[in-house]
Structure 1
Amino acid sequence: MTTTSLQADRLDRARKAASAAGIDALLVSPGADLRYLTGYDAQPLERLTCLVLPVGGDPFLVVPALEKPAAQASPAGRLGIEITGWNETDDPYALIAARLPRALTRVALDNRMWTEKSLAFRAALPGAAQVLAGDVLYALRARKSPAEAEALRRAGAAIDRVHSRMGEWLRPGRTEREVGRDIADAIIAEGHVRVDFVIVGSGPHSASPHHELSDRVIEAGDPVVVDIGGTTEEGYCSDSTRVYALGEPPEEFRRAYEVLLRAQRAQTDAVRPGLRAHELDAIGRDLISEAGYGAYFIHRTGHGIGLESHEEPYIVAGNRLPLEPGMAFSIEPGIYLPDRYGARIEDIVICTANGGERLNRTGRELVVLT
């Protein structure tokens, strides 16, 4: 399937899903949903850019006049949909409202649309209830096509290459920030076009799951959590966490790490169609709790990944969503002892008809650097 036919198929499936949900039109502003449907990576400006997808008519894209050449040059320009530019003195919301049926009752706005834009649509379409487009679009995006799965495999291999080089940068006497800069450069060098995040949590900072880079000097014996990810030229994200120790870590840390490793392996091995998200979360959480560390596993097991580093499905207690072939998500249990140390092991996994495929292939054992 060509890129153009793929996008056209996505538009058609989105229209059918919206119709089945009783939605009259989808309104999609710049972001991952717009990229998914049209391939257009539009700038999120104060000026309105919006894909309009009426369930009973042809889609059209409304863009600021000065952005029209970029829209036409993007994959959206090859889709054959109308691209309408609006001038500085025009009201784009009124323009869209005039082209939609008067009997409109429900419109779905993408979940990340700016509040000022959603309120402007409410004023322009006073008779239409506003609902979230994510209820329709996220279900489509959560099930990756074979081409998307292959793009995620390439992203996973790229971030694995960065982790395999960690010994070049991690050593006592360097600061987290210095190491983070080297890692960011390698993320680009190894196949990404954008660095999405770099976490280097050393010593007591390893107990903070979303620790920011700091000027702390890394010391001998420190455990170091390295959580890194980026976006490839294809637009798909990577995300992987490994734990390193600069010399022999405390024995108590090793014991906690072995518990974490068993839990993460049990979860990745358990992935299969029909298993519910909360059940997958419980597999690792129960093992960690039985070992006495349950109070220190303080976040969900994982998140979906694709055009965004965090998207549906979320692997968390209370989510009864059954896993389906094509769903891609992280499995990243953690144990964090406040002000002492912490650890997290993270792989991206794709659910297949036969089980789970782990996309990150670097070893999950504690890596001791000497």
Structure 2
Amino acid sequence: MTSFDTSAVVSPEQPNWSLHALREYRLARLREQMKLNDVAGVVLFDSVNLRYATDTTNMQVWGHHNPVRYAFVATEGPVIVFDATTMLHLYEGFDLIDELRPCIPWTYFTAGPRFEENAKAWAGTIADLVRAHGGGNNRLAVDRINPFGVWALERQGIQVVEGQGIIEHARVIKSHDELCAMRCAIATAEDGMERMREGLQPGASEREVWSILHKRNIELGGEWLEGALFCSGPRTNPWFKEASDRRIENGDIVAFDTDLIGNYGYCADISRSWICGDAKPTAEQDYLYKTAIEHLDVNMEMVKAGLTFGEFAERSENLPEKFRRQQYVCAAHGIGMCDEYPQILYWRDYKNFGFDGVLEAGMTICVESYVGEVGGREGIKVEQQILVTEGGYELLSKYPIELLNSR
């Protein structure tokens, strides 16, 4: 087995980037978008958005479905983080936070039948902040909120504006420091991938091999995985089956998608397909692999600043017809602290569900390919993470993309 050099895992102490500069850049990007959208401030509940704006964390996955922690960011004014009184000590040392306050939780889990009462109290607190720092502007962006919160704010005279688009557009251009953090996450993922390949032996279950990536991510300072897209043999066709107890056989295709939230909260979204054991690829496996690589390479080669999403969508529809029914859900998507704006669909879906825009230098995207014929035994999944540049792209994911054997 050819070993992949994992010595590229970047030390948090490396001298050529700064967490402070990263935080300042992200907050400035957010406020730039807030000004463009003429809002007095933004309230953030989403765990990833809170991380982007304040670089703070607290039970990130739990917070996705229990949004009791939130922040108010004034366009011209303070950054205020709200959390449980027993947790405010977690925010010591975060230099961009101006104030900490106890939260007013109003999810049904936390407030039960008093949730509407608590929503009114929460809205009163937020409305006071808008009036204090908005300079007469009553427009407030919110990223995630249920109707009772909207109605309570409106009764306070606040105009609620959709906020997810504001922060998605802020997140789309990465700074030098963000790219350094992302490279740390990718190095962690690729170290874990190599250890998965070392652990991929005939007779191992899909879950046993997949768990190796989780373990290594935690050991190296990562955070969580967004899914469990790891499958083998006939479970690779069609795509999107998650890891199971199936025992992997010698000669099986094994395909996976890391979807890994790693160091500093950045995502490494990389797909590879391997052959388990020492078997040579069959003619069918080799054909599927070469078709997937050709599709991926053609689509990556057209990437450069100035390319429109519509142009990408139209030109990316280049798989042989027999594979198009099961091709991946999108040709490419943005990547940062998770999958993010934009999602660029294939041309077949673009006219009904797509939207236009332009690739810009400094955007990071993932280009995808899945090849598997309807009724076929196996499929191949490959994906590369890249940085858009003026003249093309820089490859960020370094792990070999060849159809490698596990031994």
Q: Work out whether the TM-score is over 0.5.
A: yes
Displacement of 1:346 in angstroms is 0.8
Q: Identity, % of aligned pairs?
A: 24
Paired residue for 2:33, among 9, 12, 17? Answer: 17
CA distance, structure 2, for counterparts of residue 142 and residue 47 of structure 1: 24
- Aligned position for 2:153: 124
Instruction: Give the aligned residue type for 1:255.
Output: Y
CA-to-aligned-CA distance 1:167-224 (integer Å, 9 cap, x gap): 4222222221222223332333456343444432111111132211111121232111
**From 213, 219, 222, the counterpart of 1:183:** 213
Q: What does residue 53 of structure 1 align with?
A: 73
Residues 272 and 353 of structure 1 are in contact (CA less than 8 Å); yes or no, is this contact kept in structure 2? yes
Q: How does 1:27-42 map to 2 (within 5 A)?
A: 27-42=43-58
The one of 286, 289, 302 aligned to 2:320: 289
The DSSP-based 3-state class of the residue aligned with 2:360 is coil
Q: Secondary structure at the match of 1:177?
A: helix
Answering whether residue 366 of structure 2 is matched by residue 330 of structure 1, we say yes
With over 3 angstroms needed to count, the CA separation of the structure-2 counterparts of 1:234 and 1:219, relative to structure 1, is: same
Matches within 5 A, 1:22-171: 22-43=38-59, 44=63, 48-71=68-91, 73=92, 75=94, 78-79=95-96, 81-85=98-102, 91-101=121-131, 105-110=138-143, 113-115=144-146, 119-126=148-155, 127-171=157-201
CA distance in 1, matches of 2:295, 2:216: 30
Do 2:153 and 2:159's aligned partners in 1 also have CA atoms closer than 8 Å? Answer: no
TM-score, normalization by structure 1: 0.86
The count of corresponding residues between Structure 1 and Structure 2 is: 360
Cα distance between partner residues in 1 of 2:384 and 2:67:
39
- 1:176–1:213: 8 Å Cα contact kept in structure 2? yes
Runs of at least 5 residues in structure 2 that lack an aligned partner in the other structure: 1-16, 106-116
State the alpha-carbon separation in 1 of the partners of residues 197 and 158 from structure 2.
58
The SS at the match of 1:215 is coil
Question: 1:30 touches 1:42 (CA, 8 Å); kept in 2?
Answer: no
Aligned partners of 1:328 and 1:349 also within 8 Å: yes
**Change over 3 Å in CA distance of 1:259–1:93 after alignment to 2:** same
1:12: how far off?
4.1
User: Are the equivalent residues in 2 in contact too, given 1:26–1:107 (CA < 8 A)?
Assistant: yes
CA distance in 2, matches of 1:315, 1:48: 33
> Which consecutive residues of structure 1, in runs of 5 or more, have no partner in the other structure?
none
Look up the match of 1:203.
Answer: 233
What residue number does 1:235 align with?
265
Task: Pick one of 244, 263, 266 that aligns with 2:298.
Answer: 266
Cα 1:28/1:86, change in 2 over 3 Å: closer
Question: Deviations along 1:23-79, whole A, 9 cap, x unmatched?
Answer: 2321112411111111121442857433223335444333333332223x152xx22
CA deviations on 1:295-344 (whole Å, 9 max, x unpaired) are 23141023222112x11122323332211111111111111334521111
Distance 1:194 1:298, change over 3 A: closer
Going from structure 1 to structure 2, the CA distance change for 1:18 and 1:181 (only over 3 Å counts) comes to closer
Give the 3 Å change call, closer, same or farther, for CA 28–166 of structure 1 in structure 2. closer
Aligned-residue Cα RMSD (Å) equals 2.8
- C-alpha change, 1:11 and 1:204, in structure 2 (3 Å) is same
Q: In 1, distance between residues paired with 2:389 and 2:83?
A: 39
Contact 1:159/1:229 (8 A) holds in 2: no
Contact 1:326 / 1:350 at 8 angstroms: preserved in 2? yes
Give the alignment partner of residue 314 of structure 1, picking from 328, 332, 343: 343
Structure (1/2) with the larger strand percentage: 1
- Matched to 2:180, the amino acid is E
Tell me, in whole angstroms, the C-alpha distance in 1 between the residues paired with 2:235 and 2:28: 48
Q: What SS is found at the alignment partner of 2:245?
A: coil
Is structure 2 residue 404 aligned with structure 1 residue 367?
yes
User: Is contact 1:276-1:319 (8 Å) kept?
Assistant: no
> Residue by residue, what CA displacement relative to the aligned partner does 1:267-319 show, whole Å, maximum 9, x if unpaired?
22222101123433444431x136x42223141023222112x1112232333
* Shift in alpha-carbon separation, 1:7–1:151, aligned structure 2, 3 A: closer
* Pair 298,359 (structure 1): closer, same or farther in 2 beyond 3 Å: closer
Structure 1's 284 and 163: CA in aligned 2 closer, same or farther, altered over 3 A?
Answer: farther
Residues of 2 paired with 1:95 and 1:210: CA distance? Answer: 44
- Corresponding letter in the other structure for 1:122: W
The whole-number CA distance in structure 1 between the counterparts of 2:195 and 2:302 is: 30
